[in-house]
Amino acid sequence: KAGVTQTPRYLIKTRGQQVTLSCSPISGHRSVSWYQQTPGQGLQFLFEYFSETQRNKGNFPGRFSGRQFSNSRSEMNVSTLELGDSALYLCASSLAGGSARQETQYFGPGTRLLVL
């Protein structure tokens, strides 16, 4: 099976712009979670989607949003970018046969976003 893929891999934006990141989970996986990784804050949970619905949400401002499509692919959007949004954005998928929180998560390679 192909692993989790994310596009684009690298992105440079300026303050005030918006950005959309894409994540394709492993085939058959129904849950997609998004994380922000920065050197100072480690891995921080953004949100989780399951069956096109946001099931869990971390402590991020409303500028961060996402959605999931019927094929389980997910997108994450950040509006009004700030310098502090520069980070590696990782998505992870899991089967979610039961509770997604209890299963192995498989991470994608990440999208490295730089905000100038």
Partner 1 sequence: GENVEQHPSTLSVQEGDSAVIKCTYSDSASNYFPWYKQELGKRPQLIIDIRSNVGEKKDQRIAVTLNKTAKHFSLHITETQPEDSAVYFCAASSNNDMRFGAGTRLTVKP
Q: Does 86 bind partner 1 (CB under 8 A)?
A: no
Of 16-24, 39-47, 60-68, 74-82, which segment contacts partner 1 by CB under 8 A? 39-47
Coil, strand, or helix at residue 61? coil
Q: Which residue has the tokens 């989607």?
A: 49
Is there a contact between 49 and 70 (Cβ–Cβ < 8 Å)? no
Residue from 42, 53, 62, 70 in contact with partner 1 (CB under 8 A): 42
CA–CA separation, 73 and 68 (whole Å): 6
Containing 25, the helix (H) or strand (E) segment is: none
Number of residues that bind partner 1 (CB under 8 A): 20
Site residues (vs partner 1, CB under 8 A): 33, 35, 41-45, 56, 59, 90, 99, 101-102, 104-110
